[in-house]
């Protein structure tokens, strides 16, 4: 009986060490997946802008404004399907076959006034593990600069 208790204690101790390491590795993997997907989305957005002269929000390149697109899947974003906003302006898509949700289950977004160190930048991004977003910038956001 004592030997079984010692073995169970050792297994418990090893679990205490292994589980946090596993969680950290899983979190890093999710962040890297999001970064890779954002690189593909950013390339598609750049192609959309070259073809149409418009951002996914439908705003002209010269004046991106503050028209965020919080979900890049609908055809109104111009990446997967055409709408009147894009077909009349040289749309040659679809630019991606599909856009999935980020690894935490939230949609990827386009934000032309994403605040980075006090400066507005044009990005595609993910709200990260905590899912907090829509102009609430925090340190776990993952993004790719478009300009």
Residue 136 has pLDDT above 80, yes or no: no
- 8 A C-beta contact, residue 124 and residue 109: yes
Give me the residue spans of the domains in the chain. 28-145
Residue 106 has pLDDT above 90, yes or no: yes
What would the mean pLDDT of 47-63 be, rounded to a whole number? 87
Give the pLDDT of residue 143: 92
Is the domain spanning 28-145 CATH 3.30.700.10? The answer is yes
Q: CB under 8 Å to 131, separation ≥6 — which residues? A: 104, 105, 106
What pTM was estimated for this model as a whole? 0.80
Give the pLDDT of residue 95: 92
What would the mean pLDDT of 45-73 be, rounded to a whole number? 87
């Amino acid at each position: 009986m004592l030997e079984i208790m010692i073995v169970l204690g050792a297994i418990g101790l090893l679990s205490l060490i292994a589980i946090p390491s596993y969680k950290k590795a899983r979190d890093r993997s999710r962040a890297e997946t999001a970064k890779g997907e954002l690189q593909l989305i950013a390339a598609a957005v750049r192609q959309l802008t070259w073809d149409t002269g418009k951002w996914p929000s439908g705003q002209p390149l010269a004046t991106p404004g503050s028209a965020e697109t919080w979900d890049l899947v609908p055809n109104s974003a111009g990446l997967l399907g055409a709408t009147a906003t894009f077909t009349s302006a040289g749309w040659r898509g679809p630019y991606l076959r599909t856009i999935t949700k980020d690894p935490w289950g939230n949609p990827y977004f386009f934000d032309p006034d994403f605040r980075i160190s006090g400066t507005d930048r044009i990005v595609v991004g993910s709200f990260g593990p905590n899912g907090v977003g829509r102009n609430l910038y925090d340190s776990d956001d993952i993004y790719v600069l478009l300009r």
